[in-house]
Amino acid sequence: MDLSNSELKLYTFFRSTSSARVRIAAHLKGIHLDYVYVNLRKAEQFEDKFGLENPNHTVPVLAIAQTDSSGEPILIRQSIAILEFFEEAFPKRTPLLPPPDDLLGRARVREAVNLIACDVQPPTNQRILKRIKQFGPPANMEEWAKEIMTAGLVAFERLIESGAGRYCYGDKITLADVVLVPAVENATRYGFELESCPTIKKVFDNASENPAFRAGNWRRQGDTPLDERED
Ligand SMILES: N[C@@H](CCC(=O)N[C@@H](CS)C(=O)NCC(=O)O)C(=O)O
């Protein structure tokens, strides 16, 4: 598949951690994305128009300005599938997985990615938190989010501590860092104490200095409201 002349559009929301993964990876790889903003605070993900792009009503969605063999527009509607697609479509641009001969390293990175993407983010997604809030006491949305995010990040710390260097796996940035950083930013809003996980803290501090992570950060997006912005 030749992407050299294809426009790539990303449906994104500034505050979305799953969108941030894709924004950061695209910056790291020098892939240009045109952003289409979907305001989750206004429930735009549930509008019919967006439902046609993603029947699952979540961001991110990558749209490639080409059609597939049946003439349908090409859309990728899961962040990890988009990240893997970038790896395979642009293998030479800042690889974000260890090299193919480091099989175990690739598995290590993927297990860290999946811990966040499969075990932490889904039960703390906006639509779940809204439901918890609706249930009311004794259910407590803030506690729910803090507990799940903290437990997941403490487990993440255990997974990476022996193999980490500057980043989650050695001294090169991988998908584990790309997925971790937005998850940490989100978890600290709910009271996760970064100091309790020293390896994550080191990785987070190192990655946060990187221009691609800064550019993909939720505070610096075109749809970040002025009062939540940072330069
Ligand atoms: N597994 C999906 C998760 C996507 C997801 O849950 N995105 C959130 C924002 S981070 C969303 O769109 N939430 C809307 C909602 O909960 O209604 C992925 O990795 O793309």
If you measure from the C-alpha of residue 130 to the centroid of ligand 1, how many angstroms do you get, rounded to a whole number?
13
Top mutation candidate among 10, 13, 125 for ligand 1, by most atoms within 8 Å of CB: 125
Which pLDDT band, with edges at 50, 70 and 90, does 5 fall under?
A: confident
Q: Residue 83 is encoded by which pair of tokens?
A: 């990240």
* Cα-based torsion angle of the residue sequence 68, 69, 71, 74 in order, rounded to the nearest 10 degrees: -10
If you measure from the C-alpha of residue 81 to the centroid of ligand 1, how many angstroms do you get, rounded to a whole number?
13
Ligand 1 and 80: CB distance under 6 A: yes
Q: From its phi and psi, is residue 154 left (phi > 0), alpha (psi between -120 and 50) or beta? A: alpha
If you measure from the C-alpha of residue 123 to the centroid of ligand 1, how many angstroms do you get, rounded to a whole number?
10
If you measure from the C-alpha of residue 59 to the centroid of ligand 1, how many angstroms do you get, rounded to a whole number?
5
pLDDT value for 32: 95
Ligand 1 and 124: CB distance under 6 A: no
Which pLDDT band, with edges at 50, 70 and 90, does 157 fall under?
A: very high
pLDDT digits (tens, 9 = 90+) for 60-74: 999 998 888 888 889
| Residue pointed to by tokens 């297990």 | 111
**Lowest-pLDDT range of 80-84, 131-135, 146-150:** 131-135
pLDDT digits (tens, 9 = 90+) for 33-60: 999 999 999 999 999 999 999 999 999 9
- Report yes or no: 196 and 8 within 8 Å, Cβ to Cβ: no
- Report yes or no: 36 and 11 within 8 Å, Cβ to Cβ: yes
d(CA 26, CA 82): 10
pLDDT value for 66: 84
